[in-house]
């Protein structure tokens, strides 16, 4: 059985995934239209969302933790907009 990862650690890892998506180098050949680049960025942002999506549904989630999860979703959406538009 897998071990339980605390909410704070999940939030930290989600923020790292979003930062990795922002830092991913754009290839000179296809630029931001390269399907491989798009897939990598989308995968990193989805991983960030997946890490935290169930935290608000847990009984031990405080209002502060729920707010941080909401911020993660906003950061992921903002990163998507910044990278592709």
pLDDT at 29: 77
Q: How distant is the alpha carbon of residue 33 from its chain centre?
A: 21
pTM for the whole thing? 0.89
Residue among 38, 33, 35 at smallest CA distance from 21: 38
- pLDDT, tens digit (0-9, with 9 covering 90-100), for 6-59: 999 999 999 999 999 999 998 777 777 889 999 999 999 999 999 999 999 999
**Per-residue pLDDT at 65 exceeds 70:** yes
Boundaries of every domain in the chain: 7-84
C-alpha torsion angle, residues 62, 63, 67, 70 (rounded to 10): 70
Measured distance between the N- and C-terminal CA atoms of the chain, rounded to whole angstroms: 41
The pLDDT value recorded for residue 56 is 95
């Amino acid at each position: 059985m897998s071990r339980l990862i605390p909410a704070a650690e999940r939030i930290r890892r989600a923020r790292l995934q979003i930062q990795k998506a922002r830092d991913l180098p754009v290839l000179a050949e296809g630029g931001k239209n390269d399907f491989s680049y798009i897939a990598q960025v989308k995968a990193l942002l989805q991983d960030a969302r997946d890490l935290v999506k169930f935290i608000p549904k847990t009984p031990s989630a405080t209002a502060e933790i729920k707010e941080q999860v909401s911020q993660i979703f906003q950061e992921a959406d903002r990163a998507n907009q910044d990278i592709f538009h």
